[in-house]
Amino acid sequence: MPMYQPPSRKRDGDVKLDMGGGGQVLDLETAVKDGILGCGGGFICGGGGGVATEKLDLTKMIEELESIEVPSVFICPISLEPMQDPVTLCTGQTYERANILKWFSFGHNTCPTTMQELWDDSITPNKTLHQLIYSWFSQKYVAVKKRSEDVQGRALELLETLKKVKGQARVQALKELRQVVTTHGSAKKTTVDSGGVTLISSLLGPFTSHAVGSEAIGILVNLDLNSESKKNLMQPSKISLMVDMLNEGSIETKINCTKLIQILMEGKDFNSEEVVSSLSLVVGLLRLVKDKRHSNRVLPGLCLLKTICSHESLRNSAVSVGAVPQLIEILPGLNNECLELALNILEDLSTLPEGRLALKDCPNTIPNLVRLLMKVSESCTQLALSILWAVCKLFPEECASLAVEAGLAAKLLLVIQSGCNAVLKQRAAELLKLCSLNYTATIFISKCKLTRTIQ
């Protein structure tokens, strides 16, 4: 039972209602005057106003307007949902019929809101409140539908305009269509259903200005693209434009280009060799994730880098442009979600001999990874251990001692003693054994800093 205490509502011949707030009692005439019950298409308005054009379904209206704020007097105190069949008890409190009948079926003989014992168990349909609820929702529903139709009509107009105009007029039309599409879900569907994706995609090519390209991509990234649309956008000239704008556009354009390429790479028709043939894509993404001025650019950039590095044929490109040291440097400043992505990318790159060499040559690889052990999550600990194992196993003479000096042995003991999974503990034990090879037992025990670990 929700703990909800609405203001009491008085009844006077089923005509007056206490609307809450200041205790104001409203009748039908006042409700119409104050806009709670207003005139609009699709329903009958009291006093000889509008004429009904169709009978709207209250249940449907409530479902479609679920995000709208509803006056408290329309809310059932039991379910906290808008009432469709309000009934009033002898105490003057009003409830949804189904909810109060369920309350009675549990054997209760009290009013749920006041907890008064009922001296009369009859329930009276509150026709006035029902009319208020129906009329209020009708007015809102008609207004929302009209706005939706207006928005859809405007989207169609802009698509027609784009077929005819060029230059600055084209940029302006795209800018307005982008605004409509990003703020109204109905406009998105209209744009897709009317061939808007094909039309907007046709504007992208080797001679497209960045002004047109940035607006077009800002629209496309917000639309549902089918496989044919994705295939069309994967043409080398279009991808080349996206990569150029990723490197040279505004921060918003860079993020939109990143998201759109991500969408294309997730498609089943994606061909890694053809689509991402330029090193400048990885360079642009690394610049994006390192840009400390904009916090919202890191996640999309790392997501696309992860997708790229999941393709074995593309990992060499990432290593060759310096992805390893650049990712290692930003690890300490990443949030948990981004950190796990970055570690996933580094683990992928550590599968290459060139990637392991780059990890070994970066002075902050071992210190930064050791700090992450048992600090963020079990997943991050597992990824960090996997990378450390790949480096230390390949270069034990140089890396194992550096890892021990950075405190790895103590962290590994913590992993082994923790409640982590068995695979993780086994990897920690293997790495601990590898690290101990260059030391006598006494020296290694001192390096493990057991006192500090126990504390």
pLDDT, position 16: 42
Q: At what angle do helices 336-349 and 312-320 cross, to 10 degrees?
A: 100
Q: Which CATH architecture has domain 165-270?
A: Alpha Horseshoe (1.25)
Per-residue model confidence as pLDDT tens digits over 358-394: 999 999 998 999 888 878 888 888 898 889 888 888 8
Instruction: Single out the residue of 135, 144, 127 nearest to residue 58, CA to CA.
Output: 135
Residue type, 115: M
pLDDT, position 151: 78
Query: What sign has the CA pseudo-torsion 140, 145, 148, 154?
Result: negative
pLDDT, position 426: 80
Question: In this structure, which long-range contacts are made by residues 446-451, counting pairs with CB atoms below 8 Å and at least 24 apart in sequence?
Answer: 447/404, 447/405, 447/409, 448/409, 448/410, 448/413, 449/407, 449/409, 449/410, 450/410, 450/413
pTM: 0.65
Per-residue model confidence as pLDDT tens digits over 37-63: 444 444 444 433 333 445 778 888 888
pLDDT, position 148: 61
Q: Which CATH number fits domain 17-144: 2.60.40.10, 3.30.70.20, 3.30.40.10, 3.40.50.150?
A: 3.30.40.10
pLDDT, position 28: 45
The Cα-based distances of 75 to 19, 70, 79 in angstroms read 11, 8, 8
Determine the straight-line distance between the first and last CA of the chain, rounded to whole angstroms.
48
Residue 428 CA to residue 422 CA, distance in Å, equals: 10
Residues of the chain scoring pLDDT < 70: 1-54, 147-149, 267-278, 437-455
In order, the DSSP letters of 296-323 are GGHHHHHHHHHHHHTSHHHHHHHHHTTH
pLDDT, position 353: 93
Instruction: Single out the residue of 252, 177, 253, 239 nearest to residue 210, CA to CA.
Output: 253
Residue 235 CA to residue 195 CA, distance in Å, equals: 19
Q: How do 86-88 and 94-96 pair as beta strands?
A: antiparallel
Cα Rg of the chain, angstroms: 32
pLDDT, position 440: 58
pLDDT, position 253: 94
Residue 420 CA to residue 383 CA, distance in Å, equals: 13
pLDDT, position 213: 95
Sequence ranges of the domains in the chain: 17-144, 165-270
The answer to whether 97 touches 85, Cβ cutoff 8 Å, is: yes
pLDDT, position 130: 93
Judging by beta carbons within 10 Å of its beta carbon (0-12, 13-18, 19+), is residue 309 exposed, middle or buried? buried
pLDDT, position 4: 37
